[in-house]
Structure formats: structure tokens, C-alpha cells
Copies of this chain bind each other. A is one copy, B any other.
């Protein structure tokens, strides 16, 4: 890691970048994953690098769906494996969901490395190594475990490809995504779209699970029934616009 001091205004963002570069060095993250990280950074910058209120609402709805699910699965790729292994393991533990490694640029070696990495961070069972079922997709994210994503009723897919998201929704699953671009195909297709940085989102979801876990099924269902995903997406766009406007004004640039 490079010497980034805590007083740097963009400390969190820079540390995240270092972690993902480290993921590439460890063979967990693909080089394309670094580009994806950069895309996320830019959208997060526009969002103000904070959890907006509508994202917190989406995170609570996501937790409600996971807690009510029969077979909830958390999909892990090379970026989340490198960035948030502890949070993935904690969220799985506390909700009872299972982790499944699923990669766009798949190789047995990478699946194995990510699995071992998650186990080193405390994970028990990690699915994804069998790959005994295929979704109807032309790339490697098609390869899933029968007992995992294939038969899951709720799938949390932080940092997702649009076409797999669409496929999972078509299969009748509840799909929860974490995507900083509110207009991506993933965001527009998901059941629950969390427009937030993946580190913040998972930290929040762990906290919300602690708060909500003791509640009745009815109270969790009520959270789901009150949830409006289109409104969440509209609000994320509005928040981005507002943040840019405030930033521009702060810097003396006329907003036209």
C-alpha cells in the first residue's frame, strides 16, 4: 500500500483503489475489474461519496428480502472479493445467506483463490466451485451452482452485469444489486437497486440486519410492500444532480 494519510480528503476512495490493485496482484481481481472500479469511483464522486437517504431505504428493503428468503445467495466476484471480504462474510453469517463465487472472467484458479481468500476471512461454506448448472448466457457468468444461484429465491449481486441480472429476474428471482450508475441495465432491471458504494452498502446492511432481525415476518414484509424501486432510482439521479450543482457553486462555477 502507498503512504496515504488519513487526513487526505479522499482517503476512503484512495484506500479502496489500493485494495483493488492489491486484488489484481493477488490474482483475485481482473484488470478489467480495475476499470470497473474507476467507473464506480466517478459515479460515487458525483453522488458525494456518501449513502443517500433513498439508498438506505433500498438497503433496508434488501435486508428484509434476504431475511424472508428460503435460499438467499450472495454472489461474489473479483472486485468484491478484494474490496469487502470481511463484510461479505459478516453479512452471510448474520443473515444466513450463503456466498457463491461467480466470475465474468472465470478460471478455476481464480474461483479457487477467491474461495480461499473468503475462507481466510472467516467464511464457512463458499459455493461456486461446482458450476453444475448454466444460465442461458453467452459468457462465463452463466456458470452457477445448482444448490446456489440456480435455485436461489433471492440473490444479492453487488457489482453485476446487466444481462445476468436480467436473466435472474426472468427466472423469477428477487435480484438485489449494488450499482453506482442508476441508469445502467442492472439498476433498471433489479428488484432492489442500491445506488451506493459497495463498502458503505454492505456495512449499512450488516447494521440494518442487526436492527431488523428480531422483527416479525409481517414487519419485514411491510418494509418490502412499502418499497418503490423506481422512486429510489429517480432520487439517486436527483441527488447526483444536486451534488454536482452544489459542488459547482462551491467552486464558483455558474450552473446553467
Contact = CB atoms under 8 A, between A and B. Distances in A.
Interface of A: 17, 20-21, 24, 31-32, 34-43, 45-46, 181-183, 188, 230, 233-235, 237-238, 240-241, 244, 247-248, 251, 253-256
A189 B153 CA distance: 52
B254 A234 contact: yes
A189 to B, nearest CB: 11
A237 B251 contact: no
Contacts of A37: 35, 38
Nearest to A180: B42
Chain A binding surface SS class: helix
Contact of A32 (B21, B32, B237): B21
A45 B182 CA distance: 12
| Interface hub of A20, A181, A240, A241 (most chain B Cβ within 10 A) | A241
Given A20-B35, A31-B31, A237-B248, 4 more contacts: A17-B32, A37-B38, A38-B41, A230-B253
Given A183-B251, A188-B251, A240 B230 contact: no
Nearest to A42: B42
Contacts of A255: 234, 237-238
8 contacts: A31-B31, A40-B42, A45-B181, A183-B247, A188-B253, A230-B253, A234-B256, A241-B241
Contact of A39 (B31, B42, B234): B42
A162 to B, nearest CB: 11
A241 B32 CA distance: 28
